[in-house]
Copies of this chain bind each other. A is one copy, B any other.
Amino acid sequence: MQADLVIRALGALAQEHRLAAFRLLVQAGAAGIPAGALAERIGVPPSSMSFHLAQLANAGLVTQRRESRSIIYAADYAAMNGLMAYLTENCCGGLPCEDAAACAPAKPEETVL
């Protein structure tokens, strides 16, 4: 993943409604969620939702597939993981990071919600 795409991905997630949509999609898994359902659950008009979903798709964070009249969105886990790898790349300047407590992922209890 390269810098430009990473910036687009971060920018896509840095917005209340898009972050909410992405998290719903992350939790929904491969099944995905139709655009309309996302708009309703998040509480924005369809045109706004469409705008936001386009940004997520442009950043490569979600995929879309048509299913009858609906367009189903789903999170792209590889993109999400690539994004996180980019942020932690070369963490702490090299090897010592691997086992350093300061650099290890925090425990779920400390970070959830």
Contacts and interface: CB of A to CB of B under 8 A. Distances in A.
Nearest to A76: B102
Nearest to A79: B106
Nearest to A89: B112
Query: What is the oligomeric copy number?
Result: 2
Interface residues of A, number: 46
B19 A10 contact: yes
A38 interface: no
Nearest to A110: B82
A27 B93 contact: yes
Contacts of A93: 27-29
Given A85-B108, A85-B112, 4 more contacts: A7-B15, A77-B102, A78-B106, A84-B84
26 contacts: A7-B19, A10-B10, A10-B13, A11-B11, A13-B87, A26-B88, A26-B89, A27-B91, A27-B92, A28-B93, A29-B97, A30-B102, A77-B91, A77-B102, A78-B102, A80-B87, A80-B88, A81-B105, A81-B106, A81-B111, A82-B106, A84-B105, A85-B105, A85-B111, A85-B112, A86-B113
